[in-house]
Structure 1
C-alpha cells in the first residue's frame, strides 16, 4: 500500500477538522452572531443553575415553602384584619420576592465568574460582545417565569385564583418579568462595579426587609402615618397591587403605571453602568 503524504496544512484544514465551510462563518458583529451567542450563554447559565442546589433552593423551593408558611401562620389574622383573603396579596408578594432573591443569587455567581477570570476568557472569544449580557438576561427571564409559575401553582392550592383567566396569568408573568429583569440589571451592575464583595448580600438583606414593609399583607393604612407613603409607593407594593388587581379585581392602571415607571427608572439608571462594569471586569 502506497502512503499518500499529507501536508501539515491540509491535515489541520477546516474540512478535515469538521468545521463549517468558510462561506458559512458568521461575523462577530452580526445579529445572527448575537442570537447564537446569547442562546449559548443562556443555556450555559441555566445548566449551571440547574446543577447548583443553592440556586434551586432559593429559586423554587424557598418561595414555595414561604407561601405555605405565611398562609399557615398569618392567613387567619391578616384576613380578619383586612376583611379579604390574604392570599391575593401574599402570593404576588412572594412571587416578586422570589424573583428578586434569585437575582441576588445570580449576582453572587457573577462575582465568582469575575474573580475566577471567566469573564475575561469569554471576552476574548470570537463572539458578539453583547451576547454575554443578553444571554444572562435571557436566563434571568427563564428563571423568573419558572419561579413565578411555581409560586402561583402553590398559591392555587391554598385558594389563589386569577379571575381574568389566561390573559391575567400572562399579564402577571409580564409584570414579574419586567420587575425581575430591572432588579436583575441593578444587581448585575452592583456585582460588577462594587469592590465590596458583600454588596450583593446586602441587597439580599434589603429584599427580605422590603417583604415586611409593603401592601402584600395589609393595606398601607395599617402602618404608622409617617411610613404609609413609603410603603404605598415603594416598587414592591406597586407590583403587588397591580397583580392583586389582575387576580381578584380592583385598581390596575395606577399600580401598573407605577411599576413600569420604577422598572424603567432602574433600567435607565443601571444599564449603562452594567455594560461599563462588564467591560472593566472582563478586561482584568
Structure 2
C-alpha cells in the first residue's frame, strides 16, 4: 500500500471513531433534510399549484442535493476543531503524507454520507417519490451526489483551516443552509425574478438537484434555463470537478503552511 493510501486510511479511521463518539454535526446534517421533507412536503406542498405527492417527488432530489452540499458545514467544523485543538499540529510532526490528513477526513465524511442518505431515501419513497429512471439512472444520480459531497467537503476543510476556531465555524456553518434556498432544491426557478433566477440557476446545487431529478426520471431539465441547469448532468460533473481542482491543492497547501 502506498504511503498516501496507508496514512489516509489511518486518518479515516480516526475520523470515523470521532464521529462515533461525537455524532452531533453529522446527525444534524442528515436528519434536517428528513424534517424539511415532512414539513415542506405536507405543509407547504399543499399550498403549491402541483399536487402534494408530485411536489414531494420534486422535493426529494432537491433535499438529496442539499445533503450533499452539507459537506461544506461538516468539513469546515471538523477542520476548525482539529486546528484549534492542536490536532493538525501533531499530525504535521509525524512522518506522513501532507495530503493524507484532509483526504482521510473527506473520505470519512463520504462514508458517513452514504449511510446517512439511506433514511432520507426510505422516507422519500414512503411519501411518494419514485425512481423511474432505472437502476443505471439511480446509480448515476447517487454517484453524482457523492462526488458533489466529496467536493463540498474539501471546500469546507479549506475554510475550516482558514478559520481555526470551532465556535466561529459552527456559526458560519449555519449559513450554508442558505445555499438550497438560492437554488432549485425546493421550488422551480421559472417563476423567479430575472436576477434571482440567474443566481439560482448558476448555483452548483441547482445543477446537482436537476441532474438527480433527470437521472431518476422525475422531472426533465428545463431547456430555457442557464446552461448548468439545462444540461444538469454535465453541469453537476463540471462544478464538482472544478471545486476539486481548486480546493484540493488550496487545502493541502493551507494545511502544510498553517504550522509555519
Q: TM-score, normalised by structure 2?
A: 0.86
- Determine helix, strand or coil for the equivalent of 2:187: coil
| Corresponding residue number in structure 1 for 2:239 | 262
CA deviation vs aligned residue, 1:159-205 (integer Å, no higher than 9, x gap):
11111233222212111112111111111111112467666446534
| Corresponding residue number in structure 1 for 2:6 | 36
Q: What does residue range 142-157 of structure 1 map to in structure 2 within 5 Å?
A: 142-157=111-126
| Corresponding residue number in structure 1 for 2:136 | 167
Alpha-carbon distance in structure 1 between the residues aligned to 2:26 and 2:247: 27
- Determine helix, strand or coil for the equivalent of 2:160: helix
| Corresponding residue number in structure 2 for 1:229 | 198
Counting matched residue pairs gives 252
| Corresponding residue number in structure 2 for 1:8 | none
* Deviation for aligned residue 1:90: 1.3
* Deviation for aligned residue 1:212: 2.0
| Corresponding residue number in structure 2 for 1:66 | 36
CA deviation vs aligned residue, 1:67-97 (integer Å, no higher than 9, x gap):
212212122223x248981123311222222
Alpha-carbon distance in structure 2 between the residues aligned to 1:191 and 1:60: 20
Q: Indicate if the aligned counterparts of 2:74 and 2:153 stay in contact, CA closer than 8 A.
A: no
CA deviation vs aligned residue, 1:194-220 (integer Å, no higher than 9, x gap):
467666446534421222222233321
- Determine helix, strand or coil for the equivalent of 2:194: coil
* Deviation for aligned residue 1:54: 1.3
Distance 1:73 1:262, change over 3 A: same
Alpha-carbon distance in structure 2 between the residues aligned to 1:122 and 1:194: 18
Say which of 20, 38, 47 aligns to 1:50: 20
Q: Indicate if the aligned counterparts of 2:71 and 2:150 stay in contact, CA closer than 8 A.
A: no
| Corresponding residue number in structure 2 for 1:11 | none
Larger Rg: 1
Q: Indicate if the aligned counterparts of 1:108 and 1:200 stay in contact, CA closer than 8 A.
A: yes
- Determine helix, strand or coil for the equivalent of 1:237: helix
* Deviation for aligned residue 1:104: 0.9
Q: Indicate if the aligned counterparts of 1:82 and 1:219 stay in contact, CA closer than 8 A.
A: no
Q: Indicate if the aligned counterparts of 1:90 and 1:216 stay in contact, CA closer than 8 A.
A: yes
| Corresponding residue number in structure 2 for 1:18 | none
RMSD: 2.5
Alpha-carbon distance in structure 1 between the residues aligned to 2:66 and 2:14: 25
* Deviation for aligned residue 1:229: 1.6
- Determine helix, strand or coil for the equivalent of 2:195: coil
Q: TM-score, normalised by structure 1?
A: 0.79
* Deviation for aligned residue 1:156: 0.7
CA deviation vs aligned residue, 1:6-40 (integer Å, no higher than 9, x gap):
xxxxxxxxxxxxxxxxxxxxxxxxx5332222112
Q: Indicate if the aligned counterparts of 1:58 and 1:98 stay in contact, CA closer than 8 A.
A: no
Q: Which runs of 5+ in 2 are unaligned?
A: 222-228
| Corresponding residue number in structure 1 for 2:249 | 272
| Corresponding residue number in structure 1 for 2:147 | 178
Q: Indicate if the aligned counterparts of 1:38 and 1:134 stay in contact, CA closer than 8 A.
A: yes
